[in-house]
Amino acid sequence: MTTAYHPEADGLSERRNQTVEIALRFYYIEYPLADWSHILPALQWNLNGAYNAGTKTSAHEFLYGFKPMSALDLVTPMEDVASLPYLREVICKEAQLAMDFAAMKGKRWYDERHRPITLKEGDRVYLRLHDGYNLPGKPSKKWSQQRTGPFRIKRVVNDLAYELELPDQWKIHPVISVKHLLPAHADDFVDEQPGPVEGEPVDENRYEVDFIVKRQVRRLGRNATPFEGFLIRWKGWGPEHDQWVKTADISEELVESFRKKHPE
């Protein structure tokens, strides 16, 4: 039996699900306005044709006993049709052996590497999302990114809690449990979001809006008057810095462009 946060028991199935989620998440984050009716068929075909390290074959070969032809396979002679049932049986047996070996290897790998982490002031860490923490706009748990950062550790509270330097607009307590943190290595810093792009005004407190992520009718208090708010992405910054603003705070061109793409 597995749980959402401890997929050790059935790692092969969980890993396959993670691959699908990662692929869908990539398109959701990079192309939020894309037409899914065109993306999903091609994505499904590529995933089913991809080589699986656990079964040592692809889903297409496992199911049909052969690899369906693609544009690159048109010049390759196909197997004899009469031999397909035998080939399918051989592939299934080899896949089962490979799955058993992968499960054993995965358990050994996990046992060797699953050790408590130790962090210090000044280290950079990623914040795991959705298990109590979300980016602005409350995106879908499965299709949005699973971590954000890295952020610098401002203070070590104890071995189980650390205070982080989080964006000012985040309305959460900066002391985070170690179970929500993932150490960032030096090579990961290339993924850190840059500051304002070149050509920005001299005023360091001014930033350029890249695009509108979503619209929502919001209120700042229980008895406050509702207002139309837009979640904006700052140019040169990542989703962790997305911010809600009022209509009057952004250009009319951006608002009109968003309304045309997302008519009510």
What is the pLDDT at residue 190?
Answer: 45
Burial 170-208 (b: 16+ CB within 10 A, else e): beeeeebebebbeebeeeeeeeeeeebeeeeeeeeeebe
Q: Which among 177, 184, 172, 182 is positioned nearest to 160, based on CA atoms?
A: 177
Q: How far is CA 238 from CA 145, 191, 192, 200, 262, in A?
A: 11, 10, 9, 17, 22
What is the pLDDT at residue 254?
Answer: 82
pLDDT band at 35 (very low <50, low <70, confident <90, very high): confident
**How far apart are alpha carbons 240 and 134 in whole angstroms?**
9
Mean pLDDT of the chain: 70
Measure CA 186 to chain center.
21
Helices (H), the chain: 11-30, 36-49, 59-64, 84-113, 252-261
pLDDT digits (tens, 9 = 90+) for 158-213: 878 888 888 776 777 888 888 888 888 765 554 444 444 333 433 455 677 888 87
pLDDT digits (tens, 9 = 90+) for 200-253: 433 455 677 888 877 877 666 666 677 778 888 877 776 767 777 777 777 888
**How far apart are alpha carbons 253 and 261 in whole angstroms?**
12
**How far apart are alpha carbons 62 and 91 in whole angstroms?**
6
- Residues 163, 123, 6, 239, CA torsion sign: positive
Single-letter amino acid, residue 97: L
Half-sphere exposure of 21 (CA within 13 A, CB side): 13
> What domains sit in the chain, N to C, each tagged with a CATH number?
11-113 (no CATH), 124-191 (no CATH), 209-261 (2.40.50.40)
Average pLDDT, stretch 92-116?
Answer: 69
pLDDT beyond 80 at 67: no
pLDDT beyond 70 at 84: no
Highest mean pLDDT (candidates 89-98, 118-127, 165-174, 237-246): 118-127
Average pLDDT, stretch 4-9?
Answer: 48
- One DSSP character per residue, 194-206 reads P-SPTT--S-TT-
Q: Locate tokens 């044709």: which residue? A: 49
Percent pLDDT > 70 in the chain is 58
Single-letter amino acid, residue 91: I
Average pLDDT, stretch 134-148?
Answer: 61
What is the pLDDT at residue 5?
Answer: 46
What is the pLDDT at residue 118?
Answer: 78
What is the pLDDT at residue 198?
Answer: 37
Single-letter amino acid, residue 164: L
